[in-house]
Structure 1
Amino acid sequence: MTLDQLETFLDLCETRSFNRTANRLGVTQSTVSGRVAALEAALGCRLLDRSRAGTELTTEGLRFEPHARALRAGWAAAGQAVRGAGAAAMTMRIGIQHDLLGDRVADWVAALQGAVPDTALYVEADYSAQMCADVRDGQLDVAIHYTPKPHPDLHFESLGEVAYVMVSTEAADLAAVRPDSYILANYAPAFSATHAVLLPELSVGAVSSGQNAVIRALLTALGGSGYVLRQTALELERTGQAARVADAPRIDQPIYAAVHLRNRHRGAHRRVLRALKAHLGARAG
Structure 2
Amino acid sequence: MDVNLARTFLMVAETGSFIDAGRKMNITQSTVSARIKGLEDLLGRELFERSKYGAELTAAGEQFQKHAMALIRVWQRAQLEVGTSDQHSDHLAVGAPIAFWDGFLLRWVSWMRSNTPDIAVSATSGLSIVLTQRLLEGSLDLAVMYRPTQPPGLMIEHLFDEEFVLVTSAPANQRRTSTDYVFVDWGPDFQKDHAAAYPELTNPGLNLDLGPAGINYLLNNECSGYFPIRLVRSHIARGRLRQPKRARKFIYPVYAVYPEAHNEEAYEPILKSLRQLAKKHA
TM-score after normalising by structure 2: 0.73
> Partners of 1:243 and 1:157 in 2: how far apart?
34
> Partners of 2:152 and 2:204 in 1: how far apart?
38
Which aligned pairs between 1:245-264 and structure 2 lie closer than 5 A? 245-259=244-258, 263-264=259-260
- Please report how far the alpha carbon of residue 223 of structure 1 lies from its aligned counterpart in structure 2 after TM superposition: 1.0
Match of 1:283 in 2: 280
Change (3 A) 1:64 1:96: closer
Change (3 A) 1:156 1:178: farther
Q: CA contact under 8 A between 1:147 and 1:189: conserved in structure 2?
A: no
Q: CA contact under 8 A between 2:108 and 2:273: conserved in structure 1?
A: no
Match of 1:108 in 2: 108
Change (3 A) 1:156 1:29: farther
Q: % of aligned pairs identical?
A: 21
Match of 1:165 in 2: 165
Secondary structure of 1:7's counterpart equals helix
Q: Which digits, 9 at most, give the CA deviation of each residue in 1:63-87, with x for residues without a partner?
A: 9889877865664453244222555
> Partners of 2:64 and 2:181 in 1: how far apart?
50
Change (3 A) 1:63 1:216: closer
CA RMSD of aligned residues (A): 4.3
1:143 aligns with 2:143: yes
Match of 2:58 in 1: 56
Change (3 A) 1:62 1:96: closer
Which aligned pairs between 1:4-19 and structure 2 lie closer than 5 A? 4-9=4-9, 15=13, 18-19=16-17
Q: Which digits, 9 at most, give the CA deviation of each residue in 1:158-191, with x for residues without a partner?
A: 5343111111123659x94321111111111101
- Please report how far the alpha carbon of residue 97 of structure 1 lies from its aligned counterpart in structure 2 after TM superposition: 2.7
Q: CA contact under 8 A between 2:131 and 2:143: conserved in structure 1?
A: yes
Change (3 A) 1:153 1:171: farther
Q: CA contact under 8 A between 1:148 and 1:156: conserved in structure 2?
A: no
Change (3 A) 1:167 1:5: same
Change (3 A) 1:38 1:196: same
- Please report how far the alpha carbon of residue 156 of structure 1 lies from its aligned counterpart in structure 2 after TM superposition: 6.1
Match of 1:33 in 2: 33
- Please report how far the alpha carbon of residue 225 of structure 1 lies from its aligned counterpart in structure 2 after TM superposition: 1.2
TM-score after normalising by structure 1: 0.73
Name structure 1 gaps, 5 residues minimum: none
- Please report how far the alpha carbon of residue 277 of structure 1 lies from its aligned counterpart in structure 2 after TM superposition: 4.1
Q: Which amino acid aligns with 2:208?
A: S
Q: CA contact under 8 A between 2:70 and 2:134: conserved in structure 1?
A: no
Q: Which amino acid aligns with 1:98?
A: I
Change (3 A) 1:241 1:127: same
> Partners of 2:197 and 2:157 in 1: how far apart?
24
Aligned length: 273
> Partners of 2:180 and 2:18 in 1: how far apart?
39
> Partners of 2:92 and 2:257 in 1: how far apart?
14
> Partners of 2:152 and 2:23 in 1: how far apart?
23
Secondary structure of 1:6's counterpart equals helix
Q: CA contact under 8 A between 1:157 and 1:258: conserved in structure 2?
A: yes
Change (3 A) 1:17 1:26: closer
Secondary structure of 2:247's counterpart equals coil
Q: CA contact under 8 A between 1:88 and 1:119: conserved in structure 2?
A: yes
